[in-house]
């Protein structure tokens, strides 16, 4: 299993646990904070499920470059950095824009949206050409040789 996949899966597991802890705190009025519901759902759906899907597909889909280097897995690394920095920034800034509207937290939330876009866009660019038939995979392998 390549390093990028291990990172996606392990980060996903961390988000899974944190999202459920937030789910528990959402049921306790004294532990409530602003934007708790969207944060719970996004940590679960994006932080956990989407990261697991991305990590496993980068590993299992045909056409993977087996030699590990930043260059060979460049789009995967950009996806990891974009998605996780974007999500982390959102988790911090989204509750704070309710407490401090019209401050830097608003700008950081916009940055987080852009980072999400960069991350997911890089993943789509990486995986789209790897959605191929057996025949296409064999032809590609022949060309490489």
| Residue 66 Cβ vs other proteins, minimum distance, rounded to whole Å | 18
Task: Provide the minimum distance between the beta carbon of 93 and other proteins in the complex, in angstroms, as a whole number.
Answer: 8
Q: Supply the minimum distance, in Å, between the C-beta of residue 21 and other proteins.
A: 22
- Closest to other proteins by CB, 22 or 97: 97
Residues that bind other proteins (CB under 8 A): 45, 49-50, 53, 57, 60, 62, 90, 94, 97, 105-107, 109-110, 112-114, 116-117, 120-121, 124, 127-128, 131-134, 137
Instruction: Closer to other proteins by CB, 70 or 100: give it.
Output: 100
**How many Cα neighbours within 13 Å face the side chain of 110?**
5
116: nearest Cα among 82, 92, 90: 82
Dist CA 13 CA 43 (whole Å): 10
Residue 137: CA count within 13 A, CB half-sphere = 10
Looking at residue 32, the DSSP 8-state letter turns out to be -
Identify which of 11, 18, 14 has the alpha carbon closest to the alpha carbon of residue 36: 18
Based on the number of CB atoms within 10 Å of its own CB, is 39 exposed (0-12), middle (13-18) or buried (19 or more)? buried
Q: Tell me whether residue 21 or residue 49 sits nearer to other proteins (CB atom).
A: 49
Q: To the nearest whole angstrom, how small is the minimum distance from the Cβ of residue 39 to other proteins?
A: 12
């Amino acid at each position: 299993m390549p390093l990028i996949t291990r990172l996606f899966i392990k980060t996903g597991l961390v988000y899974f646990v944190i999202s459920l802890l937030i789910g528990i705190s959402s049921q306790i009025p004294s532990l409530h904070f602003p934007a708790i519901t969207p944060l719970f759902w996004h940590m679960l759906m994006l932080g956990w499920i989407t990261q697991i899907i991305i990590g496993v597909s980068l590993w299992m889909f045909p056409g993977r470059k087996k030699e590990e280097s930043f260059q060979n897995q460049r789009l995967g690394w950009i996806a990891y950095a974009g998605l996780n920095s974007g999500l982390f920034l959102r988790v911090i800034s989204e509750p704070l824009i309710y407490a401090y509207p019209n401050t830097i937290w608003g700008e950081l939330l916009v940055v987080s949206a852009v980072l999400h876009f960069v991350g997911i866009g890089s993943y789509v660019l990486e995986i789209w050409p790897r959605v191929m038939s057996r025949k296409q995979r064999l032809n590609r392998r022949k060309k490489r040789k």
